[in-house]
Structure 1
Amino acid sequence: MRSLAQVTQVEAEYRERVELSLLDQPLESSGHLSYQAPDRLSKTSDKGDAVLIDGDRIELIRGDGKTRLRISDHAALEGIVLALRATFAGDLDRLRRLYRLDYQSRPDGWTLELVPLERGIANLFQSVRIEGVDNRIDRLDILEGNGDRRRMRLTNQRLLVCPGPGNGCRGTP
């Protein structure tokens, strides 16, 4: 988690597969994901739909317009946004306050599973499984409370890593 905390910016391509119990076929999308420490996260699909998160604000952009929300007004949204941002930021203390953590290290990477401690959040999603290598998050798997599942794979990542004051920042290709 310490190496994740040194990443101040991530730019990546994503492929997402959403399996909904109401549909016979999964929904698939792809696009661009961006993270900028400490709390900016955006996901823009190749079709132009976007989710922009900045601080306590979230903006949903679809073909039919924009919707703006305050994250703190929606507990479920706050729970999943916090899980993603705190993981990107390597903020273990913040994660421990709201989730039971199961961290597994392997020679080829690591896995972090987050299970919500609060009933309200647990009703909306059962777990978030995150896989990565070193300071990179490669896969996200969100199991929702109703059994629906979202799987996202991040590829072609470019990271800006800042190890600390006076050490300079370095980017990855």
Structure 2
Amino acid sequence: MLRLWPLLLCFVMPPLAAAPEFTVQTILAALAQHPAGTVKFTEAKYFGVLDVPLESEGTLHFRAPDFLEKHTTAPRDERLTINGSQMRYESGGQTLTLDLADQPAASVYADSLKNLLNGDYAQLQTEFYLQLTGSPAHWALSLRPKQSALQSFVQSITVDGMNRGTGAIIQRITYESPNGDHSILTLAP
């Protein structure tokens, strides 16, 4: 009877759940579970010619597949809206509208963020080398441009996040420029 005990446990005990796979694809799929949302942000931009960072705060709104709005409320009110391939910037009563196809630097930032939030693995891996580190609970996804045209605008993008029961959330995005300038966008739900 003692020899049958392990076999009997197999029938009595429920099977153990397999740990979720920890890959770039699973993180992006978890991010895509939120097709729309608004979060508060703080941003610090570091430029080599300045002794202190330029700091701002506001809200970031996303609606899949291609609407993104960054509304800065401090130190001054300004709004950057991307809808499809159009970018609109409003500040101090002035409005500027541009086609992102004509603005490669702005396009890199906008497209990378939209593709992340949409969970678009195919597009991201076409443009970037992707490296995931950490654990399923707290992870970091590094994006390094494959094409020299992109490399002239951005050296790397690092996305730090975590998983919650409702999917993955982004906590911080760091953009590194080839000249050493960088910005850190911190998000709070």
TM-score using structure 2 length: 0.79
Q: 2:176 aligns with which of 135, 139, 143?
A: 143
Contact 2:136 2:162 in 1 (8 A): no
Contact 1:139 1:152 in 2 (8 A): yes
Whether 1:21 aligns to 2:48 is: yes
The match for 1:62 is 91
Contact 2:66 2:83 in 1 (8 A): yes
SS at match of 2:68: strand
Distance 2:132 2:182 in 1: 21
Contact 2:38 2:59 in 1 (8 A): yes
SS at match of 1:7: coil
Distance 1:82 1:142 in 2: 13
Unaligned residue ranges in structure 1 (runs of 5+): 158-173
Give the alignment of 1:11-160 within 5 angstroms. 11-46=38-73, 47-63=76-92, 65-134=94-163, 135-155=168-188, 157=189
Distance 1:66 1:147 in 2: 30
When the two chains are superposed, the root-mean-square deviation of aligned CA atoms in Å is 1.2
Q: State the identity %.
A: 27
User: When you count strand as a share of all residues, which structure comes out higher?
Assistant: 1
Distance 2:183 2:61 in 1: 18
| Letter in structure 2 aligned against 1:24 | D
With over 3 angstroms needed to count, the CA separation of the structure-2 counterparts of 1:105 and 1:90, relative to structure 1, is farther
The match for 1:5 is 32
Unaligned residue ranges in structure 2 (runs of 5+): 1-27
Distance 2:170 2:144 in 1: 18
| Letter in structure 2 aligned against 1:147 | G
| Letter in structure 2 aligned against 1:56 | S
Contact 1:113 1:130 in 2 (8 A): yes
Count of aligned residue pairs for this structure pair: 156
| Letter in structure 1 aligned against 2:69 | S
